[in-house]
């Protein structure tokens, strides 16, 4: 009898842990210009200046993002040509403070002594409990711009919570975010979709 109570509880705990593991990555979004002819793009270069380097200096993070973007563009058959590219790649990182406000239905019991029944009686009380949680949200956006027209043709972004991590963990997160963004990019260099 005791085992029949433990198994469903253990199964529920396993499913909740599995779902929590799936929800830990960033949210990836992408959008493309429907009028753009991606078959004619064969070369690329970085936009000058990169939006993340608007203050005039680079950082460890911007260099890591550059390496990851270069790896993804090369893997898709694009040729790096800083002199006359078909596409220019720009990227931007933003960190914002966010607040989650949500309510959860709760129930409590108030106990009253019944002189007639000579016992305590529990009376349920239902109410909503409001909880507020503050966190930091980071967004990494990668834009592909038609160099000839200076017109945005594709954009992808990774949105997730920012937490304290070691430099090695941050570097791995940057690589994973850029790879996830480019996983939404269906085109290859010089090949019409």
Kindly state the average pLDDT of the residues 97-118.
87
Q: For the ranges 14-18, 79-83, 149-153, 170-174, which has the lowest average pLDDT?
A: 14-18
Q: How many CB atoms lie within 10 A of CB 142?
A: 24
Q: Could you identify the residue written with the tokens 């993002």?
A: 65
pLDDT band at 16 (very low <50, low <70, confident <90, very high): very low
Percent of the chain with pLDDT over 70: 85
Q: What is the mean pLDDT of residues 166-180?
A: 90
Cβ proximity of 181 and 60 under 8 Å? no
Q: What is the pLDDT of residue 3?
A: 46
Mean pLDDT of the chain: 83
Do residues 166 and 133 touch, judged by C-beta distance below 8 A? no
pLDDT of residue 51: 84
Query: CA–CA separation, 30 vs 44, rounded Å?
Result: 19
pTM as predicted: 0.72
pLDDT tens track for 143-166: 999 999 999 999 999 999 988 888
CA–CA separation, 15 vs 17, rounded Å?
5
Mean pLDDT confidence for 23-50: 88
Q: How many CB atoms lie within 10 A of CB 94?
A: 13
Using one digit for the tens of pLDDT, what is the confidence trace for 115-139? Answer: 888 888 888 888 889 999 999 999 9
pLDDT band at 193 (very low <50, low <70, confident <90, very high): low
Separation in Å, CA 7 to CA 1, 3, 20, 140: 11, 6, 20, 43
55 has pLDDT over 80: no
pLDDT confidence of residue 11: 39
d(CA 43, CA 31) in angstroms, rounded, equals 20
């Amino acid at each position: 009898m005791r085992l029949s109570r433990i198994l469903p509880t253990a199964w529920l705990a396993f499913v909740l842990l599995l779902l929590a593991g799936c929800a830990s990555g960033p949210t990836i979004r992408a959008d493309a210009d429907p009028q753009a002819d991606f078959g004619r793009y064969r070369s690329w270069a970085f936009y000058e200046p990169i939006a993340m380097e608007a203050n005039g200096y680079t950082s460890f993070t911007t260099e890591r993002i550059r390496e990851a973007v270069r790896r993804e563009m090369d893997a898709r058959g694009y040729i790096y040509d800083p002199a006359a590219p078909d596409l220019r790649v720009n990227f931007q990182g933003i960190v914002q403070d966010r607040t989650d406000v949500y309510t959860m239905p709760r129930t409590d019991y108030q106990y009253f002594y019944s002189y007639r029944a000579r016992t305590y009686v529990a009376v349920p009380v239902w109410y909503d409990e409001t909880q507020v949680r503050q966190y930091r949200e980071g967004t990494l956006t990668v834009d592909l711009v038609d160099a000839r027209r200076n017109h945005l043709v594709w954009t992808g972004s990774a949105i997730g919570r920012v937490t304290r991590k070691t430099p090695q963990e941050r570097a791995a997160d940057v690589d994973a975010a850029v790879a996830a963004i480019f996983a939404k990019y269906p085109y290859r260099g010089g090949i019409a979709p």
